[in-house]
Structure 1
Amino acid sequence: MIDVRVLFASLGTHGHTYPLLPLAAAARDAGHEITFATGEGFADTLRAQGFDPVATGMPVFDGFLAALRIRFDTDSPEGLTPEQLSELPQIVFGNVMPQRIFDELQPVIEGFRPDLVVQEISNYGAGLAATKAGIPTICHGVGRDTPDELTGSIEEEVGRLAARLGIDLPPGRIDAFGNPFLDIYPPSLQDPAFRTRAERYELRPVPFTERTDVPSWVTSGDRSRPLVYLTLGTSSGGTVEVLRAAIDGLATLDVDVLVASGPSLDVTHLGEVPANVRVEPWVSQAGLLPHVDLVVHHGGSGTTLGAFDAGVPQLSFPWAGDSFANAQAVAQAKAGDHLLPDAINSEAVASTAKRLLSDESYRTAAKAVAAEIAAMPAPEEVVRRLPEFAERRTN
């Protein structure tokens, strides 16, 4: 196999960077030269995995501040209506962040001279930079396709940015810029229209974690009750009030509850928790899921796919973005259920979780999805195609 230089590029969040790491590791192990461009907060993680990190982009919060200045000439959202605030995401993800990443990747591309770019689907700036440089590119998905109004408005913003940069884009969806697409979502649960797109290649979603250790009491063999894993993710996938309601509901069941509070919630406001609940700031999700009987979460793609991969039923609280699409996929698979924001309270959480734990059909359905995932091509298989993709020069 011919060795190639590959530039991986993602937005600087866990949910957008971690899904690319298994393919990057497989490419590294196959002898390819890898540079990984993402947020500076991931530099230590990337170096520990043997990658050469390049800091690009900005924190999402900074992106929203920039969008406020662009759209409303202000540094504060105070006084803006909900309708005005709803105009910001497409500016952040379709203009501000792509422009920053496009600018920062110019010298990276010139210096590294990659043969191939692996662009994470939401990193439009990388797609624009690769297109401008005429470098073959493949788009790496991170979840279920969401062809909703927000996605459409973001892509319209990207189209306007491309025009300002003098970049001609192919017709149709902008997500992959007309390039091959690596789809990590179970094919039976992917959006039907998306499954028929040209040059869609399946890629098994492999959970990534920096460490695989889990609390010793989880694996000690002393537990006699089901284990419920509760997380609201690494981004703002919920509030302390939602977390408290979930804890209070789950605590009424004859279960053990492990809560991963994550970095985005201030759990000092939780107060005391019941005896059958343990709160950890972080836990290795990939290491934990094989020991879990139910996952209760925010609806993020990483946790949804992780629970599917482990064959575990799930209860989600969809709140924004792709969480609704993920909840729909879980319902379609009959592998769990969800509660909408206005329906989340301790009683609803308790009754729904009890049903998911007691009805074995949910676990059977989840295991069927796990078998489907196991049959998808592994990263090591897909890596064999990288030289073929790299030969598709556009200029």
Structure 2
Amino acid sequence: MRILFTSLASYGHLYPLLPLAVAARAAGHDVVYATAPDFHPTLEKAGLETAAAGLTLQEAFGRLFAGDTRGRHEIPEAELNEAIGKGFGRLLPTEFMTDLAPVLAERKPDLVVYEVGNPGGAFAAHRAGIPAMAHGFGRVSPGGLVEHIAKRIGELAAELGLTGDSRLFWGHPFVDICPPSVQAPEFVAGARRVPLRPVGWSEPGELPSGIEGRDRSRPLVYLTLGTTGASQAHLLTSALRGLAALDVDVLVATGPSVDVEALGEVPSNVRLEAWVPQSELLPHVDLVAHHGGSGTTLGAFAAGVPQLVLPQGADQFTNADAVVEAGAGAKLLGDELTTDAVRETASRLLSDSTVADVVRALAAEVAGMPSPEEVVAQLPQYV
């Protein structure tokens, strides 16, 4: 079978599709992955053939704000929301749809698997008369910015003659990597879900020294605010100093957007790493303090680790809500994110037996979901 995968050009949108794409290739299917060229090296490291399509998020919003010298926080919220809706709901889908048309004509795939943030894949498949399957990256969360985006997507879909509810992805089969117990109940009730175990993906690499085989009697806390602009030095500083005040070791993944020098001198029990293979690290930690990105949230569920969520934007707030509602952790918002609050909340989570029971149950739920290989075996029925 010939399968084309496509996602937005962002790690948080691309990584969730890689386990299924790699499993499909390993099963002997002809697989090509289409996204912006900036992310082709990542795909090639995974052994996947690539095709160029779409824009990066930076390119898209560079177009929308071309010539605008204001910083993000200087833009009124209503104007920013409108731009986000236009970017994700009109500009990016149109660019992907246009670029995918010749790829589909040449490759003639039997199935298009599109990441839900990239409806341009669904639109291109619809125009070409090719069956399509949506692939999620986490909890499907209504409200907030999602409404601005969904409105634009619905308008574009109607123009193209694609009928059905855009919030249920026009009735397409939906590969759902979110454990059912924390997925939005209304989505579980209405979507054509194809459950898939969330398998963490990270660039190949070695764990920092001393992680494997360490003494588990001393807790290890992992702190990350992701790979995007959410990773701000002042936020990391408050969080790491709160964590460092505990009798624990703290491993901080600073990411590419943090000026490490701005963190100043860190306590002796804090270790800074520019990058870690997160999927391999999570089973070794006792608490994850993070921004609420879907990959980290689901990875912590799978590893059975309590979470302290410090959301900054996008779907991070609803992910934080899901963690709290499940009893798997806590969240700190806005002005609540102080050094003292981080220390007190992390201390409670590390010792709370009820939370420990919840995260163990979530890990068992994730382990019981179908593997990528099992889902690949189902794909022919959707053609």
In structure 2, the residue matched to 1:26 is: 23
User: How far did 1:384 drift?
Assistant: 1.1
Residue 360 of structure 2 corresponds to 367
**Mapping of 1:1-395 within 5 angstroms?**
4-68=1-65, 74-77=67-70, 80-164=75-159, 167-174=160-167, 176-211=169-204, 213-221=206-214, 224-390=217-383
Partners of 2:57 and 2:112 in 1: CA distance: 23
Describe the superposition over 1:199-254 as per-residue Cα deviations: whole angstroms up to 9, x where unpaired. 21211111112225211211243575210000001122342111000111111110
- Could you say what secondary structure the match of 2:171 adopts? coil
CA gap of 1:121–1:300, structure 2 versus 1, over 3 A, is same
Q: Is the 8 A contact 2:168 2:190 kept in 1?
A: no
Structure 2 unaligned residues grouped into runs of 5+: none
RMSD between superposed Cα atoms in Å: 1.6
- Residue 124 of structure 1 contacts residue 175 of structure 1 at CA under 8 Å; is this kept in 2? no
The aligned amino acid for 1:160 is E
1:121/1:175 contact within 8 Å kept: no
Q: Tell me, yes or no, if the aligned pair for 1:127 and 1:177 is still in contact at 8 Å.
A: no
Letter in 1 for 2:291: H
Q: Deviations over 1:268-300 (max 9, x none)?
A: 211111110000000011111111000000000
Of 14-23 and 192-201, more deviation after overlay is shown by 192-201
* Distance in 2 between residues matched to 1:320 and 1:221, nearest whole Å: 34
Unaligned runs of 5+ in 1: 391-395
SS of corresponding position for 1:216 = coil
CA contact (8 A) 2:231 2:257 kept: no
Residue 174 of structure 1 and its aligned partner are, at CA, apart by: 4.8
Question: Does the aligned pair in 1 maintain the 2:323–2:330 contact within 8 Å?
Answer: yes
Equivalenced residues, count: 381
C-alpha separation in 1, matches of 2:259 and 2:137: 27
Cα displacement (A) at 1:198: 4.0
How big is each residue's C-alpha offset from its partner over 1:320-372, in whole Å with a ceiling of 9 and x where there is no partner? 22111111111122111010022111110000000011122212211100001
Verify the 8 A CA contact 1:182 1:200 in the aligned structure 2: yes
CA–CA separation in structure 2 for the residues paired with 1:61 and 1:86: 16
Task: Name the CA distance, whole Å, in 2 between partners of 1:11 and 1:369.
Answer: 28
SS of the equivalent of 1:215 reads: coil
Normalising by structure 1, we get a TM-score of 0.92
Q: Tell me how far apart the structure 2 counterparts of residues 76 and 59 of structure 1 sit (CA, whole Å).
A: 20
CA contact (8 A) 1:90 1:150 kept: yes
Q: Which moved more, 1:175-184 or 1:281-290?
A: 175-184
Q: Distance in 1 between matches of 2:197 and 2:330?
A: 24
Look up the SS of the partner of 1:87 in the other structure. helix
- The amino acid across from 1:81 in the alignment is P
**Equivalent position SS for 1:176:** helix
Structure-1 separation of matches of 2:271 and 2:318: 30
Helix, strand or coil at the partner of 1:213:
coil
1:197 Cα deviation from its structure 2 partner: 1.4
Distance 1:67 1:342 in 2: 31
SS at match of 2:264: coil
Letter in 1 for 2:30: E
2-side partners of 1:170 and 1:244: how far apart?
48
Alpha-carbon offset, residue 80 of structure 1: 4.4
- The one-letter code matched in structure 1 to 2:374 is E
Equivalent pairs: percent with the same residue? 50
State the distance in 2 between where 1:332 and 1:142 align: 19
Quote the offset at 1:161 in angstroms.
2.9
What is the CA deviation profile of residues 31-69 of structure 1, one whole-angstrom value per residue up to 9, with x for unaligned ones? 100000123232122112221012322221221222235
Aligned residue type for 1:365: V
How far does residue 24 in structure 1 lie from its aligned partner after superposition? Answer: 0.7
2:153·2:166 contact (CA, 8 Å) conserved in 1?
no
In structure 2, distance between residues paired with 1:321 and 1:99: 21
Contact 1:238 1:319 in 2 (8 A): no
Alpha-carbon deviation of 1:267? 2.1
